[in-house]
Protein backbone atom coordinates (compact mmCIF):
# COMPACT_ATOMS: atom_id res chain seq x y z
CA UNK A 1 0.00 0.00 0.00
CA UNK A 2 1.26 3.45 -0.84
CA UNK A 3 1.42 5.69 2.16
CA UNK A 4 0.95 9.33 1.45
CA UNK A 5 2.85 11.94 3.35
CA UNK A 6 1.51 15.33 4.24
CA UNK A 7 2.97 18.16 6.21
CA UNK A 8 0.66 20.41 8.17
CA UNK A 9 1.46 23.65 9.86
CA UNK A 10 0.61 23.69 13.51
CA UNK A 11 -2.86 25.05 14.13
CA UNK A 12 -4.05 24.69 10.56
CA UNK A 13 -6.89 22.59 9.24
CA UNK A 14 -6.88 20.73 5.93
CA UNK A 15 -9.57 18.83 4.12
CA UNK A 16 -9.04 15.29 2.82
CA UNK A 17 -11.60 14.19 0.23
CA UNK A 18 -12.17 10.49 -0.44
CA UNK A 19 -14.23 8.84 -3.19
CA UNK A 20 -17.51 7.75 -1.61
CA UNK A 21 -19.37 4.47 -1.92
CA UNK A 22 -22.31 5.20 0.32
CA UNK A 23 -24.75 3.85 -2.25
CA UNK A 24 -23.08 0.47 -1.81
CA UNK A 25 -23.19 0.67 1.98
CA UNK A 26 -19.54 1.60 2.46
CA UNK A 27 -18.43 4.54 4.60
CA UNK A 28 -15.03 5.92 5.37
CA UNK A 29 -13.84 6.05 8.95
CA UNK A 30 -10.60 7.50 10.24
CA UNK A 31 -8.24 6.62 13.08
CA UNK A 32 -5.15 8.45 14.25
CA UNK A 33 -2.18 6.79 15.92
CA UNK A 34 -1.46 9.82 18.09
CA UNK A 35 -4.54 11.98 18.56
CA UNK A 36 -2.48 14.50 20.50
CA UNK A 37 -0.75 15.51 17.25
CA UNK A 38 -3.67 15.42 14.80
CA UNK A 39 -7.40 15.24 15.24
CA UNK A 40 -9.71 14.00 12.48
CA UNK A 41 -13.40 14.62 12.03
CA UNK A 42 -15.84 13.95 9.25
CA UNK A 43 -17.25 17.00 7.56
CA UNK A 44 -20.20 17.43 5.25
CA UNK A 45 -19.27 18.71 1.83
CA UNK A 46 -21.41 21.50 0.48
CA UNK A 47 -24.07 19.81 -1.59
CA UNK A 48 -25.31 21.47 -4.73
CA UNK A 49 -28.03 20.11 -6.99
CA UNK A 50 -27.74 16.32 -7.11
CA UNK A 51 -27.36 15.31 -10.72
CA UNK A 52 -25.69 12.00 -10.04
CA UNK A 53 -27.53 8.84 -11.08
CA UNK A 54 -28.62 6.36 -8.43
CA UNK A 55 -25.71 4.24 -7.38
CA UNK A 56 -23.18 7.03 -7.74
CA UNK A 57 -22.02 8.14 -4.32
CA UNK A 58 -20.99 11.44 -2.87
CA UNK A 59 -17.40 11.96 -1.92
CA UNK A 60 -16.67 11.96 1.77
CA UNK A 61 -14.42 14.46 3.50
CA UNK A 62 -12.43 14.62 6.71
CA UNK A 63 -10.84 17.61 8.35
CA UNK A 64 -7.35 17.14 9.79
CA UNK A 65 -6.48 19.61 12.53
CA UNK A 66 -2.80 19.96 13.41
CA UNK A 67 -2.70 20.05 17.20
CA UNK A 68 0.92 19.58 18.12
CA UNK A 69 4.32 19.31 16.48
CA UNK A 70 5.26 15.77 15.68
CA UNK A 71 4.53 12.93 13.31
CA UNK A 72 1.68 10.44 13.30
CA UNK A 73 -0.26 8.19 10.99
CA UNK A 74 -3.88 8.56 9.94
CA UNK A 75 -5.64 5.50 8.61
CA UNK A 76 -8.83 5.79 6.56
CA UNK A 77 -10.88 2.63 6.10
CA UNK A 78 -13.86 2.26 3.77
CA UNK A 79 -16.03 -0.53 5.16
CA UNK A 80 -19.58 -1.52 5.92
CA UNK A 81 -20.76 -0.97 9.46
CA UNK A 82 -23.17 -3.89 9.14
CA UNK A 83 -20.38 -6.31 8.33
CA UNK A 84 -18.23 -6.24 11.45
CA UNK A 85 -14.95 -7.96 10.76
CA UNK A 86 -15.63 -7.91 7.06
CA UNK A 87 -13.03 -7.00 4.48
CA UNK A 88 -12.79 -3.26 3.91
CA UNK A 89 -13.35 -2.10 0.36
CA UNK A 90 -10.43 0.31 0.55
CA UNK A 91 -7.78 1.49 2.98
CA UNK A 92 -5.78 4.68 2.72
CA UNK A 93 -2.95 5.58 5.06
CA UNK A 94 -1.38 8.98 5.50
CA UNK A 95 1.77 9.93 7.37
CA UNK A 96 1.19 13.40 8.79
CA UNK A 97 3.96 15.65 10.00
CA UNK A 98 3.00 18.72 11.97
CA UNK A 99 5.52 21.53 12.03
CA UNK A 100 5.68 24.88 13.73
CA UNK A 101 5.52 27.62 11.10
CA UNK A 102 7.81 29.89 13.12
CA UNK A 103 10.51 27.26 13.33
CA UNK A 104 10.22 26.42 9.66
CA UNK A 105 10.68 30.07 8.86
CA UNK A 106 13.73 30.37 11.15
CA UNK A 107 15.33 27.35 9.59
CA UNK A 108 14.84 28.73 6.12
CA UNK A 109 16.61 31.93 7.10
Partner 1 sequence: MSAVDWRNRWGWPWLTNIKDQGGCGSCYSFSGTGLVEAMTRIEHCVWSLRSEGDVGDAISFLFGAHSKCGGGSPEHVLQWIQANGIADPGCWSSPNSPKLAMPTPDRLGRTVRLDKYHSIGGPNIHNDMKTWIELNGPVAVCFACYPEFDDACKNDSIYIYSNPDNKPSDGHCVLIVGYDDAKAAWLVRNSWGTGWGTHGYGWFGYGQGEHGLEHHAALGVIGVWTNADPWSKRRLHNGNFYESGDGTKHRNFEVWAAGPGGVIRHYTQNGSTLAWSLTETLPEVSLPPAFHAKGYDCGGAPTVLASTYFRNYEIVYPTTGAQLRHMHYDQVGKQWSSQKPFGPTNSDGVPGFIQIDVGAPGNFEVVVRCSTGTLENWWRDNVGNGGVWAKRSSFGNGILLSGATVVQRWAAGGNPGVNVPAGLDLVCVTDHHTMQRWWRNDPNTMHWAPCETFGAHVHSPPVMIRSQFGATNETIPGDYELCVAVSGLIEHWWTPGNPEPTLQSLNGTTAKWAQIAKFGTNVAGRHVKQVLGLMQSSYGFHLELVAELDNGKLQHFSRDGSGWHAKTVF
Whichever of 22 and 70 has its CB closer to partner 1, that residue is 22
The site that binds partner 1 (CB under 8 A) totals a number of residues, namely: 27
For the bound state, the minimum distance from the C-beta of residue 18 to partner 1, rounded and expressed in Å, comes to 13
| Options 3, 15, 17, 24; binder of partner 1; rule CB under 8 A | 24
* CA–CA distance, 97 with 71 (Å, rounded to integer): 4
The candidate with the shortest Cα–Cα distance to 38, out of 73, 62, 5, 3, is 73
Q: Check residue 104 for interaction with partner 1 (CB under 8 A).
A: no
Q: Check residue 21 for interaction with partner 1 (CB under 8 A).
A: yes
- Say how many CA atoms lie within 13 Å of 16 toward its Cβ: 25
Exposed (0-12), middle (13-18) or buried (19+): which is 88, by Cβ within 10 Å?
Answer: middle
| Options 4, 33, 83, 93; binder of partner 1; rule CB under 8 A | 83
Q: Check residue 102 for interaction with partner 1 (CB under 8 A).
A: no
Give the interface with partner 1 as residue ranges (CB under 8 A): 20-27, 44-45, 47, 50, 52-58, 78, 80-83, 86, 89-90
Amino acid sequence: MNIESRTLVLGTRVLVTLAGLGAAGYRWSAAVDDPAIVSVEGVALASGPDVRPPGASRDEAFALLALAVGETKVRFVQARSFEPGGEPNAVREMRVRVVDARLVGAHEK
